[in-house]
Structures are given as C-alpha cells and as structure tokens.
A and B are shown apart, each in its own frame.
Chain A
Amino acid sequence: MQSTSVKPNYGGDEVAALVLDFGSSSLRAGYAGDDTPKAIVSTSFGYTEEQAASNGDVPMGDESTPEGEQPQAPKAKAKLYIGQNGPSLWRSGMQVGNPMHDGLIQNFDAVPPLINHALAEVMRCNPAEHPVLVTEAAWNTPANRERMAEIMFEEFQVPAFYIANTGVLNAFAAGKGSALVIDIGQSTASVTPVVDGFVLRKGLQHCALPQLVHAHAKHLLTSPTSTRPGIQLIPHQLIANKTPVDVGVLPKYTLREDRIAGTTDSWRAWAEAHEVDEWIQSVGGCLVQGWNEVFAQQQGPRHYEFPTGYNNFFTGLERFAVGEQYFTHSTQLQASNPNLPKTIPALIMSAIGQTDLDLRQVLLGNVVLTGGGSLFAGFADRLATEMSRQFPHVKIHAPGNPTERRYGGWLGGSILASLGTFHQLWISREEWQEHGKAIVGQRCK
C-alpha cells in the first residue's frame, strides 16, 4: 500500500494488525484496515464441568487467582463451548458464562479461549505474527488492562500490543477527534466526552440502563394482564413439537422432557434473555416526540409469535413503553427503586455539566450515537428531539449503516491501527519485557 516513493494521501500504512473489540454481547475481531470485523463471536460461552454440576453457581474460574501463571488450569476442569455452536446448542449440564460485567472483563479465565477461538479458529491466523489492538471501556481499571496485556504477550506471543478506549475509537470511526460519544450496548449505556482523542474522565457517565429496559420488557411479557396470561419464555431447544394456534389462544406444545433435567439455571436464564431480546428487537420502539399514551395507542399493534407457538398482537402502549425506559422513568418506579440507572438525557446532562464551558459547544456539535442498542426503533430520532429541547445547537452523528453502528468501536480501532503515525505507539514485546506492566499505563493514556 505504501512506499517511500508513493505519497500517502490518507496517512495509512497497514502492518496487518489485528483489532479485538470486547463487548457484552460479542467479541469482534478482524484485520486493521477492513471496514467490518472478520469474526464476530458471542461473548457468552457454554461450559460443562467435569465434576457433577452441584455447585453450578460458582463461576468456573474462582480458584484461579492463586495460580495466575497457569490460566490453563481451569480449562482442564471445564470444557468450553464457544462461538456458533456454543451456548445456543443445548447440552446436558451446560452452564452459560460471560466474562463481561458492567462493560468490563471481570473474569479473565475465559478470555484466552474466546480470543483463541476468534483468531485461530474463525480468522485462521496466528496472533504471534500480528500486532494486536484491544479495546477497553473508558472506565476500565489499570489492573484489568495490564492483565489483558499480559494475556496477549504471554499467551498469544504478540509482537506488539495496544489498548485503546472504545469512546475514543467510536469518535474516530465517526471521523472526529472531539465528540460526545453516546454508546448503548447490551448491558451498559455510556456517555463519553472525548477531546482531541482523549477521554475526559470527569465527564464520563455510564450505567446499566439497557439491563433495566430488558428487565422491564421481561416483566411486561411474563406478568399476566387483563387480556392475556403471563407468557412462558421457553426456548425452542426445549420444545419437542407444537401446533399452530390462533391469536391469543394458549399454546399447544410438548416439552422435551429428556432435556429438562439436564438444563442448568444459567443456560435457562441465557435462553430466556435471548427470547426477550428477540421480542424487543422485533416489536419494541421509541416514540419520537416523547411519551403520549394516546399517540402510542394509535401506532397500532404488532404481531409476534414465541417459540411455544403462542402468538398475540402487542399494542402500541406495550411496545413503546419499552423504549420509553431509555428516556424517562415513571415516578412510582423511581420511588420504589432508589438505585435506578440514570436515563439517557440525565446521563448526557451530567456528562456535559462536568465538562468545561468552552468545550460544551464543541461536544454538542459532535454527538456520536453508537452501539447496537442505539438501533432500537426510533431511538436516534427520539434522542435528537430530547437533545434539541435541552440544548440549542446539537448535531448528532448516527451512522445509518447498522454494521457501522454496532461495531463502531472495532471500526475506530481498525482505522487507528492502520495509520502510519500510530505505529510508534505500539507497546512492543521488548518494551513489555523491559518495563513490565507499568508501560501499559504510560503508553495507553
């Protein structure tokens, strides 16, 4: 691509770097310079323990802390199922785990297998030959990033490593150096002020709002109403057969009794969450102009069928109440739950309130909306109305391409790691061996 004789016009110089982007729902991996990740692997993984699944609640890596040098140890005990044939394939006694919590990697034991799956099994490349850029949430702890560096250098033998912030990378993916990045993920919503490629940590805001939305939807489905009974969220893996039924009629299906005994609670929870997510994505929505019961009712019902065969029309009221959770909380909900996650407008307000007065105009003129959760129907429009009510001059950059929106962090990393001027920032193997963990904090600001 580049040579000393060819004048670069965009500053790119590709060194075949790999970009790894950890998210709560999926791990994205691919070559720097591409526009979409090559491997998208579900972060949730299944595992079976060799012993009887009596202590299923204990995450498999709890005893690994003393023997940090040999992370292979728990692998001997637990068999992992990762990727396409991972948790979605029912296995007797299989638990489902997820290393991510609150946007951070909390359990590093499953991380090397996940990375190995994405790089070696999906992409079929040898990480020892490529420099690797990994992303992190803006509120990542120093210990966490150092652990990640250790994994990459010691286990994957990468020649060079860098860890970059998803907020900054999302801004880069939108072509901006300074931006207010609103990232709606699967488990966490965050608002990150980025100035000149640096996160302003004081203005950083994040909360588990998507989980609240999810819980609300689940409650809405499972609790009986005047017109319908509570809906059973039984995944298709547990259903032997079913017969079509009319709208609103109780479903006729038979369970796979042979599987009931071997189904673990964690797998069940994962599968139910999957059903709820499916429902939200196909039925849920946001009212663009704010909550209006009459208007919501006018939007009309939408039909949805569950794996059990139960199907019904969901009214506009139900559908839009789900999306409304992102923007307003009802007073009774606030009264009953003091630790309620902040709404998106509240997050933005507090993030902007923490930044310097001179920066506010810059940030509000460069709002970047990203994350798979922001693809929620009507979300971008609603955000635009909410923000234009609060602030006079707001410009929201929301990529229309869903791939770009979902993998904005990865895309930014792909751009960053293929820039010629970036290659001086890699932490090389030599530096890692010389300086140890301290180099990570020094280099990746």
Chain B
Amino acid sequence: MAASAADVRSILAIPEPPAAGSSQPAKKPQGTERAKKPEGIPRELYALIGPHVPTLTAQFTKPRLKQKPNLAGGGRVKWHVPPTWEWRPFKNGARSDGLRLSHWTKAGTDPETDYQFAKYNIQGTPYVYTHEEYTRLLDDSSWTKEETDYLFNLVREYDGRFYVVHDRYEYPNGPQRSLEDLKERYFGVCRRLIRNRPWIGDEASKKALLDSLTFDKDREVARKDYVASLEHRTPEQITEEDALYLELEKLKENERRFRKDRDELLRTLCGIESGLPDIQVDEDGLAGATFDTKKKKKGVAGSVEPQTPVTPSANTVIALPQPQPKKTSAKSAAYGASPATHLLHLEPTIVVDALHCIVRTEVEQTSSSTKAAHVPVHLRSYKIAQPKAALAPRVTQVLSELGISHSRLVMPTRDNLTKFAALIDAAQQLVEIKKAVDKHDQDIQTTKARLAALRGETVEDGDVPQTPMDVDEGAVDAEGEVDGRAQSVVSTRSVRSRKQGRRSMSVSSVDTTGGPNKRQKQR
C-alpha cells in the first residue's frame, strides 16, 4: 500500500492534522491512533477513512464475545499459564544411601524438600535384649539364644508377619517349630522384657501393651484343631449337620407358635390379670428373636417347662389400657385430689372432655368374646362400616346409585361414620326385604301358574317373563337376558344381567322405601 493517510487527505483536500512538526514526532500520534483502531476494520481502510466515521466503525466491528475468565488472577487480563514441570533428581529420606532417582516435579518447588513418600517408611519397634538379660530372664530349655536371635531377626525382617516368618523359618539343626511355637516364644520374650524393664509411662499403657502381646498357645492350638476338624468333615457329616440344623429350626418355630397361642389364650381368659403385654412386638423382630433363641436354647438343652406367666411389672403396666369405668374413677380421683375442685366438678370427666374436645367411645362388644378384651388405638377410617359379605355387591350397588362411595369416606368424622353405618344398615335391610318380596312374588306366580295348569287353562307365555325380577338364585339365563335387554344394557353374562335387572328395580324401590333412610341421614 503505497498511499498513506496524508496522500489520501491531500487528494481529497482534507486539511492536515494540526500537529505538523517534523516527521519524527508526527509518527508518534499516528501510532497511538492506530492503536485505537477498532477491531474488524482492515488496516488499509482505516488508514483511508480515519477514526471519524462512526457508522462504518459500528458496521465493521465484530460482535464482542464474552470475556474469557481470568484464571491466573492479577489485575491485568492474563491467560492461565500451565505450571511448568521439570525432570529433577530427588533425595529419598527413606534410603540410607545417596541414590538420586529422578521424577517430574513442578518447577520452582524446593529441590531439597523431604520426599513425600518417605514418611510411609515406618519401622516397628524392635525388641532387643542383651546377653545378660537373656541369661537372667529369657532362658528357656527348648530355645537356645542363637535360635531366639534368629527368630527375632526374622520377625523384624518381615515386620511381624508371622505367616511369612514361619514359612521362612529354617534354623539349621533346630527342631521343627510350629507357627504357635514361634509366636509363643516371641511374645513370651517381649512380655518378660517389658515386665522387667523400668517403664516410663503409666501403668495403664503398660498393661495395654502387655495385653497386646499376650498369646495363649494352648487356646490357639485348640482353635486350629477345631478349624481343621471343621475342614475335614465328610460330605455325609455336612449333610447330617444341615439336616439337624433344619430340625432344630423347626422345633424352635413350633415352640414359638405354641408360646404365642398360649399367650393369646391367657390374655383372653384373664385379661389384665394374665400380666402379659397386650401389644406384642412381632416375634420375629430382632430383639424378640435373640431373646427367643436364648430361651429356646435353654429349653432344648434342659427341661421343656411351660413358662409361668410373668407377674405384672412396671413394663406391663404401661401398656395396659384400663377398662372404661376404672379409668373414669381414676381420672376423677386424680382431678379430685383437692376437695375444692371436687365440688366444682361433679362430673369431672365430662367437663374436661368437653373442654379438650375429647370424645369417649364405648368399646364395641363384638359377638365373639375372645377379642373383647382390648381394642388398640386405631384410626377411625379403619372402622368404616362394611356391609355383610353376602350382600355386599348389592349394597354397594345401592350406594353407588346414591352417588356414595362405599369404601372411602372423604371426611370420616364420628358423626359421618355413624350415619354411614346407619345407611349401610338400611341398605342391607332394603336389599333383604326386596329379596323376600321377590321370592314371594315368584312363589305366587308359580303357584298361580300351577293352579292354572291344574285347571287345564293354557297360560300365555308372556306371563312368566313379565315377572319384574328373576328368582334370586335359580334364575334362568334367558330371563336375565330379557331383563337386560329391557335395560338396553348389553349384558353378556347371566350374573351381570341379573345385576342389571336388579338395578332397574332397586332404583325405584330405593325411591319409595328409602324415605326413612334419607330422613335418618338428614337427621
């Protein structure tokens, strides 16, 4: 590019910039001007147009990207420089010689710092003894000093790995030593040394150290024998053992069941006097299991005597709910501790209950006496009245026609529950009555028909199908289908069609006979 800015200016007759001194100083401002050149405009073009055309500048500048993060820190924008590494020899503190191996390390770190892996070179405390100590304390008829020395050397060499020590133990002309022999000798010597040397620390630490060095050879040998015998079992023995174990488990299970039954019986018969906790933790629970097995073991080993009921103790009292009358009296006694309050509250429970919105329900007496003793705490929604099983489908049908879900009450309050129970009751009655009516109707029809037959009159076919309902149990499929068609509901199965048929009836019947029921509900 030969044409400079000055040339262009002269061509376009633009006046020279004011700083017109010698050529040397004139260059300086030009340099700074160029430094201000916006990005994206070619240098030649910028030289031509100069910095005075803002629209062009705006057009040519590239969209600026987000600034890169300043990872290296520091005030100025400085890109992250990866640390330099260098191959450098290092001194390993764990070595006794001067071997200098090299490794890669960050440049700038102190070359004389401790080798970081040297700290893992940990030596155990070796036990050494003098000749005098040996003759005084450690003399043993079966061990010579030389062999003891050899043993101690090996233990030190293999850092107390006795399996390896035993493997490498080859004392010339020495007797065959077992692993237990070696351990006994080593630990015995160590213990004697510690006992007889002056101890710097406190007694507890000395005892702890001695404990850590105890070795009972006989016990170890016996244990190994057991392990060996366990390992040398024949397959028959193993299967027999398994069978016996299964047998034992069965016995345990039986006894557990027996105990459970007996407890239940006791509770039923004696109530609180049985002294048994009412709410039983699951027998298979953890605590129960260990407790149980212990007992069972005892039982298996010795006499299998039935357990005598435990006398009521503190823990049983907690769980026992008192019968209603007793409770009230107890309450009154509690509240009536001071005579003054007693006068005020003639019937304290009622007042208190009203105050605290407590509602007391009487324990429902079910027909079977076995379960009467106790009703545990429960959610009211668990006690929603259920129709009798035999009538359940029809009752639910009735309810669904009323638009009531029979299984779920949105708000199972006490009032709602009683109302719901009454409703169910009424529905049941209704269904039963309806059934009876139908049966009688049917009877009448058939007897009439028979009568007619006896009289020799031919009865029109239409009569029989015109029965408003089929017979309860012995319904013929054809009849049901007729009913179903009448409903304009496509029915495929007789049962279903029967139900459909009943449905048409029940709607009307509910309308008529449901009067008291509704009234009850509104009440």
Which positions in A face B, CB cutoff 8 Å?
Answer: 1-6, 8, 11, 13-16, 131, 159-160, 195-196, 198, 200-203, 356-360, 420-421, 423-424, 426, 428-431, 434, 445
CA distance A4 to B97 in the complex (A): 22
CA distance A430 to B121 in the complex (A): 21
Q: Which residues of chain A are within 8 angstroms of B116 by Cβ–Cβ distance?
A: 2, 4, 8, 13, 420
A195-B105 contact in complex given A424-B95, A426-B99, C-beta closer than 8 Å:
no
Q: Which residues of chain B are within 8 angstroms of A6 by Cβ–Cβ distance?
A: 106
CA distance A421 to B224 in the complex (A): 36
Q: Which residues of chain B are within 8 angstroms of A5 by Cβ–Cβ distance?
A: 106, 109
B94: CB under 8 A from chain A? yes
Q: Which residues of chain A are within 8 angstroms of B85 by Cβ–Cβ distance?
A: 3
Q: Which residues of chain B are within 8 angstroms of A356 by Cβ–Cβ distance?
A: 163, 166, 179
Complex partner residue of B105 from A3, A198, A428, CB under 8 angstroms: A3
CA distance A178 to B168 in the complex (A): 17
Determine if A195 and B227 form an interchain contact, defined as CB atoms under 8 angstroms apart: no
Q: Which residues of chain B are within 8 angstroms of A159 by Cβ–Cβ distance?
A: 99, 101
Determine if B161 and A423 form an interchain contact, defined as CB atoms under 8 angstroms apart: no
Determine if A357 and B92 form an interchain contact, defined as CB atoms under 8 angstroms apart: no
Determine if A200 and B167 form an interchain contact, defined as CB atoms under 8 angstroms apart: yes
Q: Which residues of chain A are within 8 angstroms of B110 by Cβ–Cβ distance?
A: 4
In the complex, how many angstroms separate the beta carbon of B118 from the nearest chain A beta carbon?
Answer: 7
30 A-B pairs, CB-CB below 8 angstroms? Answer: A1-B103, A1-B104, A2-B103, A2-B105, A3-B85, A3-B106, A3-B109, A4-B110, A4-B116, A15-B102, A159-B101, A160-B99, A196-B161, A198-B161, A198-B164, A200-B163, A356-B163, A357-B227, A359-B163, A360-B231, A421-B120, A421-B121, A423-B92, A423-B95, A423-B117, A424-B95, A424-B118, A426-B95, A431-B97, A445-B157
CA distance A421 to B117 in the complex (A): 5
In the complex, how many angstroms separate the beta carbon of A55 from the nearest chain B beta carbon?
Answer: 42
Determine if A424 and B92 form an interchain contact, defined as CB atoms under 8 angstroms apart: yes
Q: Which of B218-237 contact A (CB under 8 A)?
A: 224, 227-228, 231
Determine if A420 and B117 form an interchain contact, defined as CB atoms under 8 angstroms apart: yes
Q: Which of B79-124 contact A (CB under 8 A)?
A: 85, 92, 94-95, 97-99, 101-106, 109-110, 113-118, 120-121
CA distance A3 to B107 in the complex (A): 9
B127: CB under 8 A from chain A? no
CA distance A421 to B120 in the complex (A): 7
CA distance A89 to B478 in the complex (A): 99
Residue of B nearest to A357 (CB): B227
Determine if A13 and B117 form an interchain contact, defined as CB atoms under 8 angstroms apart: yes
Contact pattern, B 113-140, Cβ under 8 Å of A = 1, otherwise 0: 1111110110000000000000000000
10 closest residue pairs by CB, A with B: A420-B117, A428-B99, A424-B94, A3-B106, A15-B101, A198-B164, A200-B167, A3-B105, A430-B97, A357-B227
B143: CB under 8 A from chain A? no
CA distance A113 to B312 in the complex (A): 93
A16-B102 contact in complex given A2-B116, A423-B92, A445-B157, C-beta closer than 8 Å:
yes
CA distance A426 to B117 in the complex (A): 14
Q: Which residues of chain B are within 8 angstroms of A431 by Cβ–Cβ distance?
A: 97, 99
Determine if A13 and B99 form an interchain contact, defined as CB atoms under 8 angstroms apart: no
Extra inter-chain contacts (15) besides given A423-B92, A423-B95, CB under 8 Å: A1-B103, A2-B104, A2-B116, A3-B104, A4-B110, A4-B116, A5-B106, A13-B117, A159-B101, A196-B163, A201-B168, A424-B92, A424-B94, A424-B121, A428-B95
CA distance A430 to B97 in the complex (A): 7
Determine if B166 and A131 form an interchain contact, defined as CB atoms under 8 angstroms apart: no
Complex partner residue of B227 from A201, A358, A420, A434, CB under 8 angstroms: A358
In the complex, how many angstroms separate the beta carbon of A20 from the nearest chain B beta carbon?
Answer: 17
Determine if B94 and A357 form an interchain contact, defined as CB atoms under 8 angstroms apart: no
CA distance A182 to B207 in the complex (A): 45
Q: Which residues of chain A are within 8 angstroms of B157 by Cβ–Cβ distance?
A: 445
Determine if A14 and B109 form an interchain contact, defined as CB atoms under 8 angstroms apart: no
CA distance A434 to B97 in the complex (A): 10
Q: Which residues of chain A are within 8 angstroms of B99 by Cβ–Cβ distance?
A: 159-160, 426, 428-431
In the complex, how many angstroms separate the beta carbon of A241 from the nearest chain B beta carbon?
Answer: 56
Q: Which residues of chain A are within 8 angstroms of B102 by Cβ–Cβ distance?
A: 15-16
Residue of B nearest to A160 (CB): B99
Q: Which residues of chain B are within 8 angstroms of A429 by Cβ–Cβ distance?
A: 99
Residue of A nearest to B226 (CB): A357
A202-B97 contact in complex given A5-B109, A14-B104, C-beta closer than 8 Å:
no
Q: Which residues of chain B are within 8 angstroms of A202 by Cβ–Cβ distance?
A: 167
Q: Which residues of chain B are within 8 angstroms of A434 by Cβ–Cβ distance?
A: 97
Residue of A nearest to B167 (CB): A200
Residue of A nearest to B93 (CB): A424
Complex partner residue of A160 from B101, B167, B231, CB under 8 angstroms: B101
CA distance A3 to B166 in the complex (A): 40
Q: Which residues of chain B are within 8 angstroms of A360 by Cβ–Cβ distance?
A: 231
Q: Which residues of chain A are within 8 angstroms of B114 by Cβ–Cβ distance?
A: 4
In the complex, how many angstroms separate the beta carbon of A428 from the nearest chain B beta carbon?
Answer: 4
Q: Which residues of chain A are within 8 angstroms of B94 by Cβ–Cβ distance?
A: 423-424
Q: Which residues of chain A are within 8 angstroms of B227 by Cβ–Cβ distance?
A: 357-358
Determine if A195 and B231 form an interchain contact, defined as CB atoms under 8 angstroms apart: no
In the complex, how many angstroms separate the beta carbon of A178 from the nearest chain B beta carbon?
Answer: 9
B158: CB under 8 A from chain A? yes
Complex partner residue of A196 from B120, B164, B168, CB under 8 angstroms: B164
CA distance A15 to B103 in the complex (A): 5
Q: Which residues of chain B are within 8 angstroms of A445 by Cβ–Cβ distance?
A: 157-158
CA distance A160 to B100 in the complex (A): 10
Complex partner residue of B101 from A131, A196, A203, CB under 8 angstroms: A131
In the complex, how many angstroms separate the beta carbon of B208 from the nearest chain A beta carbon?
Answer: 25
CA distance A445 to B167 in the complex (A): 12
In the complex, how many angstroms separate the beta carbon of A329 from the nearest chain B beta carbon?
Answer: 25
Q: Which residues of chain A are within 8 angstroms of B164 by Cβ–Cβ distance?
A: 195-196, 198, 200
Residue of A nearest to B118 (CB): A424
CA distance A86 to B224 in the complex (A): 56
Determine if A11 and B167 form an interchain contact, defined as CB atoms under 8 angstroms apart: no
Q: Which residues of chain A are within 8 angstroms of B106 by Cβ–Cβ distance?
A: 3, 5-6
Q: Which residues of chain A are within 8 angstroms of B224 by Cβ–Cβ distance?
A: 357-358
Complex partner residue of A13 from B97, B103, B168, B231, CB under 8 angstroms: B103
CA distance A11 to B117 in the complex (A): 8
Determine if A426 and B101 form an interchain contact, defined as CB atoms under 8 angstroms apart: yes
